[in-house]
Structure formats: structure tokens, C-alpha cells
């Protein structure tokens, strides 16, 4: 199978929204009046971001999901994407499920594959997504005139929220790399989160005009919230008593039926939640006056959200337990696993 047959067979599809899709030197997108183009790129490199033996259907899903997650974080509606692919060989038994996983998620979000590049080389998947977001009034002087959710809008007193569940992807990674033992039922739940993350596109759209700042959680909650704090020039206090319950698989461990050698320490659970990475949930801030609106956005997008802290004027990130007592922040790295 040659390069062009490969593109034709697996990556050429009708593109009813785009003016021009795969097959010419450029694709063409028509922006609607009053809309800005939101653009983001994410690269997945074999062995660094995923195991080469990963189920190709799941890998196709994840490669696009991590990109859609960036659009979600900006409150942008997905329009289209390009796919730059380096492949060791043109293997139809790999390409078929890969393209199916990729295009199924694309269809679910109305996001059209409009072009790309294909080359022989070590497995590497690079996607660029294009989305649209309405022009809007600048939130403050010096801010861009957009309705996009930015990292720079958090204000002292704002609530901090996260969507969905956190930490399970990291738990799965620890188990798959042999650093911990998980019962099969738990590993299956956690592995789903690692390999098939859910981009929170509908929530991002519903939060436009409600959230003051947002980011998606790809490197861990503390790190990605840290970006919001840095860009907004503020600090924050987070409640670890709430955070620990964000681990979806935590429920399994609190059941008496799990054998002792599988028990997850609170420290390890918190590490996964606070610094795990690969979650692809949203962390966002909103003024306290918007609590009802945040709940409405959550309901409208069928996406659970949890309020986990507050933005402070004082810089820095403070962790407290369920009683408000300080908790030492030892969660910024995963060295504990390597001990
Ligand atoms: P060029 O040489 O002009 O860069 P190519 O010959 O590489 O173009 O690609 C031919 C067409 O196929 C282009 O429209 C390109 O966008 C598209 N294409 C190439 N690889 C992919 C891919 N992996 N997925 C989707 N479209 C692709
Ligand atoms: Mg080319």
C-alpha cells in the first residue's frame, strides 16, 4: 500500500462543513462572521506518551481526545483537524482500528479531518485542531477581545472547580508499568480513563461567560491550576479532603472486600489526584455569584463538577485538609513511586 492509497483508504472522508478537505495542497475553512479561529496542536510519541502496543482503536481516540480537550479548555467549538502521522510501516491491521477510533470521536464532535501529512518513521501522531469561539468584549484592559476561556482571568475570591474524576489514569499507568498491583476490576476502570479520556467540550462551551479562567488537566491538577495562578497573578487554597474523593476507583478501595495488599494509601491516592496527569478534565474558576450558573452548565453538559477550593490574592498554592488545617505540598512529583 503506497502513501496515497493509505491516505485515500483510511483518512479521506466527506467534509460537509469545510470548503475543501483532503486532496489539495491546502484545506479551506470558512469562518462564520463574528467568530475567531481557535488552534491547538498536541503530539503523541510512542514510548513517551503511550506504549507502542496500545490498542490502536483506543490510541486513535486518545490522539484526538487530548486535542479536543484543549478546545474544551478555551470554550471553543470543534470544527476540523489535521493529522500528521509517522508510521514504521503501512499496516492495514493497525491503520483500520486506529482510523476508526479517531474518526468515531471526530464524528461525535462534528470535527472533520481536513488534511495532514504521512511519512515513514517511528510511530508519532501529531494532530492540530481548529475550533471557533465568538468575538467578545475584553474582560479587562489588556485582555484579548474574545469569549474564549483564558488562563488569565481568575480573581481573588473566585471558586475553583474541576470536572469529572482525577487520578485514575495515573493509577492505571502505575499498574501497567508494574509499580503497583491492582485488582482487575479496578484496573479496567482506571485503564479506560488512561486510554480513552473524555474531552469536556460541552462543559467548556457551557462555561463561556460563566467561568473566569480555565485550563485542561494534562499534566496534573496542581501543575495545570498553577498555570492559571501564574497567568492570573493570584494564589489558591485547595481542599485535599474533597480532592481525595475525585479518584473514581477510590470507591473500590474503601470496600472491605479488597484484599489488604491492594489497599491504596491516602497519600498515594492524593498523589494520583493532585499530580497524576493524563486526566483531560477541566480545572476552572468562577466568581461565587456564578455558583448557580456553574451548576446549570454542569447539568446542561451532563458533566459533574466539584468545587475544590478558592482563589486568593496572596500568591502560592496552599493545601488544607477537610478541617482547614495545612497539608504539606509534597505532591508535585511522583518520585515516591520510584523509591
Ligand atoms: P503535500 O505534498 O502537498 O504536503 P501530500 O501529498 O503530503 O501533500 O498529501 C496529499 C493530501 O493528503 C493533502 O491534502 C494532505 O493534507 C492529505 N493528507 C496527507 N496525509 C494525511 C493524513 N494522515 N490524514 C489526512 N490527510 C492527509
Ligand atoms: Mg506532504
Give the CATH number of the domain where residue 25 resides.
3.30.1330.10
- Chain length of the chain: 339
Together in a domain, 198 and 52: no
The helix/strand/coil state of 43 is strand
Say if residues 121 and 90 touch (Cβ distance below 8 Å).
no
HEC profile of 101-143:
HHHHHHHHCCCEEEEEEEEECCCEEEEEEEEEEECCCCCCCCC
Phi and psi, residue 179, nearest 5°: -90, -15
Together in a domain, 97 and 212: no
Quick check: is 77 in a domain? yes
Burial class (CB in 10 A: 0-12, 13-18, 19+), 258: middle
Together in a domain, 121 and 186: no
| Ligand positioned closest to the Cα atom of 125 | 1
| Ligand positioned closest to the Cα atom of 81 | 1
- Residue 57: predicted pLDDT: 97
Of 15, 118, 126, 130, the one to substitute when testing ligand 1's pocket (max ligand atoms within 8 A of C-beta) is 118
Q: What is the position in ligand 1's atom list of the atom closest to the CA of 24?
A: 14
Quick check: is 242 in a domain? yes
The helix/strand/coil state of 17 is coil
Together in a domain, 226 and 81: no
Domains held by the chain: number: 2
Quick check: is 305 in a domain? yes
Q: Low-confidence residues of the chain, pLDDT below 70?
A: 253-263, 332-339
Burial class (CB in 10 A: 0-12, 13-18, 19+), 303: buried
- Residue 335: predicted pLDDT: 41
Full-model pTM: 0.93
Taking the centre of ligand 2 as the mean of its atom positions, its distance from the CA of residue 118, in whole angstroms, is 7
Taking the centre of ligand 2 as the mean of its atom positions, its distance from the CA of residue 107, in whole angstroms, is 24
Nearest-angstrom CA–CA distance, 7 and 120? 13
The partner residues of 161 in beta bridges, in order of sequence, read 284, 307
Domain of residue 80, residue span: 3-134
Q: Give the DSSP letter of residue 145.
A: S
Quick check: is 171 in a domain? yes
Together in a domain, 314 and 178: yes
- Residue 228: predicted pLDDT: 98
Quick check: is 241 in a domain? yes
Residues within a 6 A CB radius of ligand 1: 7, 11, 22-25, 83, 85, 113, 115-118
Together in a domain, 166 and 315: yes
Taking the centre of ligand 1 as the mean of its atom positions, its distance from the CA of residue 56, in whole angstroms, is 21
Angle CA(286)–CA(287)–CA(291) in degrees, nearest 5? 80
Nearest-angstrom CA–CA distance, 112 and 80? 4
Residue of minimum CA distance from atom 27 in ligand 1 = 116
- Residue 184: predicted pLDDT: 87
Amino acid at each position: 500500500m503506497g502513501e496515497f492509497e493509505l491516505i485515500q483508504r483510511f483518512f479521506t472522508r466527506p467534509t460537509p462543513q469545510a470548503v475543501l478537505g483532503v486532496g489539495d495542497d491546502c484545506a479551506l475553512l470558512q469562518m462564520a462572521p463574528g467568530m475567531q479561529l481557535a488552534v491547538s496542536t498536541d503530539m503523541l510519541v510512542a514510548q513517551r506518551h503511550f506504549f507502542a502496543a496500545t490498542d490502536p482503536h483506543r490510541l486513535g481516540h486518545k490522539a484526538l481526545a487530548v486535542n479536543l480537550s484543549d478546545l474544551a479548555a478555551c470554550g471553543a467549538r470543534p470544527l476540523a483537524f489535521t493529522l500528521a502521522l509517522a508510521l514504521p510501516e503501512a499496516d492495514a491491521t493497525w491503520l483500520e482500528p486506529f482510523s476508526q477510533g479517531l474518526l468515531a470521536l471526530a464524528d461525535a464532535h462534528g470535527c472533520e479531518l481536513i488534511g495532514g501529512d504521512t511519512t515513514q518513521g517511528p510511530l508519532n501522531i501529531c494532530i492540530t485542531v481548529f475550533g471557533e469561539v465568538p468575538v467578545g468584549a475584553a474582560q479587562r484592559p489588556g485582555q484579548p477581545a474574545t469569549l474564549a476561556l483564558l488562563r488569565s482571568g481568575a480573581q481573588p475570591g473566585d471558586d475553583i472547580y474541576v470536572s469529572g474524576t482525577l487520578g485514575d489514569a495515573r493509577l492505571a499507568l502505575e499498574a501497567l508499568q508494574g509499580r503497583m498491583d491492582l485488582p482487575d476490576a479496578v484496573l479496567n476502570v482506571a485503564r479506560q480513563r488512561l486510554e480513552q479520556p473524555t474531552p469536556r467540550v460541552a462543559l467548556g462551551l457551557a462555561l463561556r461567560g460563566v467561568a473566569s479562567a480555565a485550563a485542561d488537566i494534562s499534566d496534573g491538577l496542581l501543575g495545570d491550576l498553577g498555570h492559571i495562578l501564574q497567568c492570573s497573578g493570584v494564589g489558591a487554597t485547595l481542599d485535599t479532603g474533597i480532592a481525595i474523593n475525585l479518584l473514581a476507583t477510590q470507591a473500590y478501595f474503601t470496600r472491605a472486600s479488597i484484599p489488604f495488599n491492594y489497599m491504596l494509601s491516602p497519600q498515594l491516592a492524593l498523589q494520583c489526584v493532585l499530580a497524576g496527569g493524563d486526566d483531560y478534565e477541566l480545572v476552572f474558576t468562577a466568581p461565587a455569584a456564578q455558583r448557580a450558573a456553574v451548576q446549570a452548565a454542569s447539568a446542561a453538559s451532563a458533566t459533574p463538577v466539584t468545587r475544590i477550593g478558592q482563589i486568593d490574592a496572596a500568591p502560592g498554592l496552599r493545601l488544607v485538609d477537610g478541617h482547614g488545617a495545612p497539608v504539606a505540598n509534597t505532591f508535585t512529583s511522583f518520585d515516591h513511586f520510584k523509591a
